[in-house]
A and B are shown apart, each in its own frame.
Chain A
Amino acid sequence: MQKSRDYAEWYSRYIDDELSAEEKQAFLKYLDENPQEKAIVQRLQSLQQNLAQLPPTDTSEGFETVLRTRIQIEKKIGYGAIHTFFQRWRMPFLGFATALVVFLVFSGLKGIRWDGMPTDETAVNHASMQNSLSLPASNINYTLDQFIASPSYSTDAASIHYQPAEDETMNKNQGVVVDSTGKIKQETTKTIPENLQLSY
């Protein structure tokens, strides 16, 4: 007697009448010897009949009217043209939108608070930049904290590398006071000494 699993794949072939005469004979013999398997096959046959006899589902009364209306609407608005346009430009548009979102997120993280106001650091950078650029080159004021935070300070016009002289003392604990307009108060800025080395 063959194992049942060998015949399990024959169930559907038997039900669908796809077994050859020899196969069918062997299969029926196997079923006679295995009443449990025979019961499964009978249930499968019965299930197939029941599935075939499931009552059909009717469409609603207005089905065709709704369909015609939808077709008419599509014809009027020119679905094809709109659809083709969006299909063609979908990927470039998505790429642009993604790049824009990434840019906004990064610019937001770097300099803008989520409520839209500039961060303190940005305000300091912006104010100090304005101060330094509005004065003559020989009399440039730098904020002390700016130099403490970053030895190299760049503006849009040129990069200015600040290297403090050995005899220059810096008060690292000194804070920067920014008023409501974003300008830095004079007491928190320091005039560059004459022996300061600047490289461009």
Chain B
Amino acid sequence: MEGREEQSKGKKPSDEELIARFQQGDIYAFDLIVKRYKQQLLNFVFRFLNNRELAEDVVQETFLRVYRKRHAYKQVAKFSTWIYTIAGNLSRTELRRRKRRKLFSLSDIGMEEKDYEIASDEFNPEKYTNTVMHEKIIQREINKLSSKFREVILLRDVQGLAYEEIAEIVNVPLGTVKSRVNRARLRLQEQLKKSL
């Protein structure tokens, strides 16, 4: 196949080339898309939902949507923007569903707190300025942010996307995204300062 030939030659096809091939019926191109995006999408969704199992389900569903709606993608936007938009929408839906479930489930009360519990002796406040912060603490504090702030800070500082791309993914103006990222960073550093 064309994709295999190019890979064997050492050429790395762009995302847009892969989706174009997939739209023409090259299933191998879809496999390459999955391999390229599965980890970064899982990273984003997992940090957004703070639940590994749910995150993997959401990423699976994202690829299924890509498979089903492959002809809906137009090359006016970057492929990464498109796939992150799908993943972001599904994650937000999942988050809302979880909140609704929590409202009706008494057994869930207090569970969130338990998930975040971290042994305090692992951390030394003096090391804060040396940027030694444990992943779990950061994750805990990220999850304390509102979903709006959490989404943009993850896309910007964890996924490393451009502000313009984030604006398209979350469907808000560029200025709003920049402002949200700034506020999210300030809030997060404030929370980390208190927790350490």
Binding site for B on A (CB under 8 A): 8-9, 11-13, 15, 40, 42-44, 46-52, 54-60, 63-64, 66-67, 70-71, 74, 79-80
Which residues of B have CB within 8 Å of A59? 38-39, 42, 56, 59
A-B contact count (CB 8 A): 93
| B174 sits at the interface (CB 8 A) | no
Which residues of A have CB within 8 Å of B192? 43, 47
Main secondary structure of the interface of B (DSSP, over half): helix
| B149 sits at the interface (CB 8 A) | no
Q: What separation, in Å, do the CA atoms of A140 and B161 have in the docked complex?
A: 86
Give the residues from 42 to 64 in chain B that come closer than 8 angstroms, CB to CB, to chain A. 42-43, 46-47, 52, 55-56, 59-60, 63-64
Known: A40-B189, A52-B157. A70 touches B39 (CB 8 A): no
Which residues of A have CB within 8 Å of B34? 64, 67
Known: A60-B56, A67-B60. A47 touches B68 (CB 8 A): no
Contact yes or no, B67 A71, CB < 8 A: yes
Binding site for A on B (CB under 8 A): 31, 34-35, 38-40, 42-43, 46-47, 52, 55-56, 59-60, 63-64, 67-68, 128-129, 131, 133, 135, 138-139, 153, 157-158, 160, 178-179, 181-182, 185-186, 188-189, 192-193
With both beta carbons as reference points, the residue of chain B lying nearest to A83 in the complex is identified as B68
Main secondary structure of the interface of A (DSSP, over half): helix
Which residues of B have CB within 8 Å of A60? 56
Contact yes or no, A51 B60, CB < 8 A: no
**Contact partner, A48, options B43, B47, B52, B157, Cβ 8 Å:** B157
Across the A-B interface, the 8 shortest Cβ-Cβ residue pairs: A51-B157, A12-B182, A46-B131, A43-B189, A57-B46, A57-B43, A59-B38, A47-B189
Contact yes or no, B64 A74, CB < 8 A: yes
Q: What separation, in Å, do the CA atoms of A42 and B139 have in the docked complex?
A: 20
Q: What separation, in Å, do the CA atoms of A95 and B178 have in the docked complex?
A: 43
Which residues of A have CB within 8 Å of B38? 59, 63-64
Contact yes or no, A46 B64, CB < 8 A: no
11 contacts between A and B (CB under 8 A): A13-B178, A46-B128, A46-B131, A47-B189, A48-B157, A51-B157, A52-B158, A57-B42, A59-B38, A59-B59, A80-B68
